[in-house]
Amino acid sequence: MLQVHVRVASPPLLYPCYMGINIPTREELIANKLDPRMLARHVGADSLAYLSVDGLIQAVKHGIEDRSSKVGHCTACLTGKYPEKLEW
DSSP state letters, the chain: ----EEEESSPPP-S-B-SSS-B--GGG-GGGTS-HHHHHHHHT-SEEEE--HHHHHHHHHTT----STT-----HHHHS--SS----
4 vs 25: which has the higher pLDDT: 4
Whole-model pTM: value is 0.78
In a domain, residue 68? The reply is: yes
Give residue 74's pLDDT: 86
At residue 61 the predicted structure's pLDDT band, cuts being 50, 70 and 90, is: confident
In a domain, residue 14? The reply is: yes
Range of the domain at 75: 5-79
Give residue 67's pLDDT: 63
For 33-52, how does the pLDDT look when each residue is reduced to its tens digit (9 = 90+)? 999 999 999 999 999 999 99
Number of domains the chain contains? 1
Query: What average pLDDT does the chain have?
Result: 87
